[in-house]
């Protein structure tokens, strides 16, 4: 009887541990669809009315931050409406914010859904994002699990950034095209962060661009490290106006300053 009771207790303990492991595993991979944000809104000076379109810009993609890993990787997705053609493109990315290396991507396009018989006319960006995640959930959740992404995030905030005793202010250095072609005004640009005290660090250099303007839109702090993700937008001419195209870079807030 003692042996039977002891075996029963071990089976119960093993079951509880198995369920706990499965729950932790699910929590590290399957996340709810994050809320969308418009990082460009954070570039608008206080007191200025923000309407869409804004000047010549009429394409404002939605950005979602899914989470971070403890070693500096971030997962994001971007949804933007395709001018002229119609429909939406959805881009998922997991990026190492230490090296800025893109580790994993997935591209989705509602044009392909229509070819499969799905009618998405009139759907807004949030509904498209939810449907895209539903269609690609196995791949997205698998990548989140592979790179140990946890659903802990901080909000996107405007610059200048206040952190500890320092203030961080972005700077964009632009080299203009000598012979611009149809709103392709910028040949290359460098993005730097200046920390109070006179120290500046280069965080991005781009020499392959077809942009009219470049904006440093926002930042968000890692919940695990002294590291920040910076959102950069290129304004490019597309159909009958300009749209924003986002990229992301990381910056250690202590090293290199």
Reported as a single tens digit per residue, the pLDDT across 119-155 is 888 899 999 999 999 999 999 999 999 999 999 999 9
Give the chain as a DSSP string.
-HHHHHHHHHHHHHHHHHHHHHHHHHHHH--PPPPPB-GGGGGSPTT----SSBTTEEE--EEEEEEE-TTSEEEEEEEEE-TTT-SEEEEEEEEETTT--EEEEEEEEHHHHHHTT---TT--HHHHHHHHHHHHHHHHHHHHHHTT-BS-----BPSSEEETTEEEEEEEEEEE-SS--SS--EEEEEEEEEETTTEEEEEEEE-S---SEEEEEEEEE-SSSSEEEEEEEEEEE-SSSEEEEEEEEEEESSTT-
The domain locations on the chain are: 34-252
Task: Summarize pLDDT for 61-109 with one digit per residue, the tens.
Answer: 999 999 999 999 999 999 999 887 889 999 999 999 999 999 999 999 9
Model confidence at 1: pLDDT above 70: no
């Amino acid at each position: 009887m003692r042996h039977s009771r002891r075996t029963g207790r071990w089976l119960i303990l093993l079951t509880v541990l198995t369920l706990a492991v499965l729950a932790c595993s699910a929590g590290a991979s399957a996340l709810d669809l994050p809320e969308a944000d418009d990082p460009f809104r954070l570039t608008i000076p206080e007191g200025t009315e923000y309407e869409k379109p804004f000047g010549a810009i009429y394409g404002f993609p939605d950005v979602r931050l899914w989470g971070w890993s403890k070693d500096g990787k971030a997962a994001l997705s971007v949804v933007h409406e395709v001018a002229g053609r119609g429909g939406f493109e959805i881009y998922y990315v997991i990026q190492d914010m230490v090296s800025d290396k893109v580790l994993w991507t997935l591209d989705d396009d509602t044009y392909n859904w229509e070819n499969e018989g799905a009618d998405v006319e009139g759907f807004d960006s949030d509904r498209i994002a939810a449907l895209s995640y539903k269609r690609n959930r196995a791949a997205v959740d698998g990548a989140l699990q592979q790179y140990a992404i946890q659903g802990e995030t901080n909000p996107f905030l405007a610059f200048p950034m206040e952190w500890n005793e320092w203030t961080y202010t972005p700077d964009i250095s632009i080299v203009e095209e000598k012979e611009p072609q149809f709103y392709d005004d910028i040949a290359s640009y460098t993005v730097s962060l200046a920390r109070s005290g006179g120290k500046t660090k280069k965080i991005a250099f781009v020499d392959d661009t077809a942009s009219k303007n470049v904006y440093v839109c926002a930042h968000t702090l890692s919940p695990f490290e002294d590291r920040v993700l910076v959102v950069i937008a290129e304004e490019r001419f597309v159909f009958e106006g300009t749209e924003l195209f986002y990229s992301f870079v990381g910056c250690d807030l202590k090293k290199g300053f």
